[in-house]
Amino acid sequence: MSSDQLGRLLMRAAPVFNAPIAALANSRHFGKLINRNITMLTYTGRRSGRTFSIPVSYRRCGNDIVIGVGMPEAKTWWRNFLNTGGPLSLHLDGADRAGHAVAKQDEKGRVTVTVRLAETQS
């Protein structure tokens, strides 16, 4: 199986895995545990104009959120944030937070998406 075929297979299978993770993240029993490392990322596709929500693992670095994209060749969502990046929202600490994401791909093909969260109004 070529890497392109594997990528297409994974893209078709993603909803099968994403739906249960999203449900667990929203559950009363497992939500706190899951939400320590996983958040729901919501964005609008640049070409399609459709809104998508996907679970992603993340880590906090000050006011930034860093998302490492595993197997980036098999995924397309992060390409919406190349170059100057784009807006998105993340569900953090029980609330949706707006931010601006920029994706960078290194010389080895690894992809990191860095989200600068908008300031919250107190």
Residue ranges of domains in the chain, CATH in brackets: 3-117 (2.30.110.10)
Residue with tokens 């098999």: 74
pLDDT digits (tens, 9 = 90+) for 34-66: 556 788 999 999 999 999 999 899 999 988 999
pLDDT in tens, 66-121: 999 988 988 899 999 999 999 999 998 888 999 999 999 999 999 999 999 998 76
Task: Give CA–CA dist 49/54, Å, rounded.
Answer: 16
Task: Single out the residue of 81, 79, 44, 48 nearest to residue 65, CA to CA.
Answer: 81
Task: Give the Cβ contact number of residue 16 at 10 Å.
Answer: 8
Beta bridge partners of 29: none
pTM of the model: 0.76
- Within 8 A by CB and 6+ apart from 118, the residues are 97, 98, 99, 100
